[in-house]
């Protein structure tokens, strides 16, 4: 059993080939050349950060299956500056179209020292932004983005920093290491 921790860049598909017709998009194959490894979970094309890959099907299922409620921590740049009521809504769980979310852990943080994103997040002088550290224990499609939108603060940048005990700390963008 082996595990790879990969710092997925913005715009990279969480698969090894692009089945779509049209211009090719970057895939994991451009970064990881170890055969037999598959992602344990996903990160959207427009999200960055920690992606775990393994060659062990049972471990892959344990990491990705929402029944195990493995905590996932994200650094989230949102539009505007959420007040305490908005943060409390996240802490209690918000209602999405597919039902209520589990309560999240959330706190305001200073802007983290991250690699530059390409393309950069749009900046607007008239609209402030704020960074949050948000931890969830489920993994619905685009869940963090939908949660911040539900409280009136759309996500501008989303970086997954931690899954369980595994963290992105010390892994440059586009690089990976064995766990």
C-alpha to C-alpha distance for 130 and 82, rounded to whole angstroms: 8
On whether both 156 and 96 belong to a single domain, the answer is yes
3-state helix, strand, coil in the chain (%, to 5): 15, 30, 55
Per-residue pLDDT of the chain (179 residues; tens, 9 = 90+): 799 999 999 999 999 998 888 888 999 999 999 999 999 988 999 999 999 999 998 888 888 877 777 899 999 999 999 999 999 999 999 999 999 999 999 999 999 999 999 888 887 777 899 999 999 998 888 999 999 999 999 999 999 999 999 999 999 999 999 99
Q: Which of 44, 55, 56, 129 is catalytic?
A: 44
pTM of this structure: 0.94
Strand pairing report for 155-163 and 48-54: parallel
Domain encompassing residue 45: 3-66+166-178
On whether both 24 and 75 belong to a single domain, the answer is no
Count of domains for the chain: 2
C-alpha to C-alpha distance for 131 and 111, rounded to whole angstroms: 6
Q: Do the beta carbons of residue 154 and residue 78 sit within 8 Å?
A: yes
Asked if 44 is an active-site residue, the reply is: yes
On whether both 157 and 78 belong to a single domain, the answer is yes
Give the domain CATH number at 49: 3.30.70.580
Give the domain CATH number at 111: 3.30.70.1560
């Amino acid at each position: 059993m082996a595990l790879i921790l990969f710092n997925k860049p913005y715009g990279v598909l969480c698969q090894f080939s692009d089945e779509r017709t049209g211009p090719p998009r970057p895939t994991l194959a451009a970064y990881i050349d170890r055969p037999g490894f598959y992602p344990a979970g996903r990160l959207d094309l427009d999200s960055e950060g920690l992606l775990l890959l393994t060659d062990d099907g049972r471990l892959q299922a344990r990491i990705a299956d929402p029944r195990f409620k493995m905590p996932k921590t994200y650094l989230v740049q949102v539009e505007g500056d959420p007040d305490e009521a908005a943060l409390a809504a996240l802490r209690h769980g918000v209602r999405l179209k597919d039902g209520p979310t589990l309560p999240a852990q959330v706190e305001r943080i200073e802007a983290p020292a991250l690699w530059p994103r390409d393309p950069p997040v749009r900046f607007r002088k008239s609209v402030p932004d704020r960074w949050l550290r948000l931890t969830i224990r489920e993994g619905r499609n685009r869940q963090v983005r939908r949660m911040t939108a539900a409280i009136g603060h759309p996500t501008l940048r989303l970086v997954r920093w931690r899954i369980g005990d595994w963290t992105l700390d010390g892994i440059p963008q586009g690089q990976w290491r064995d766990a």
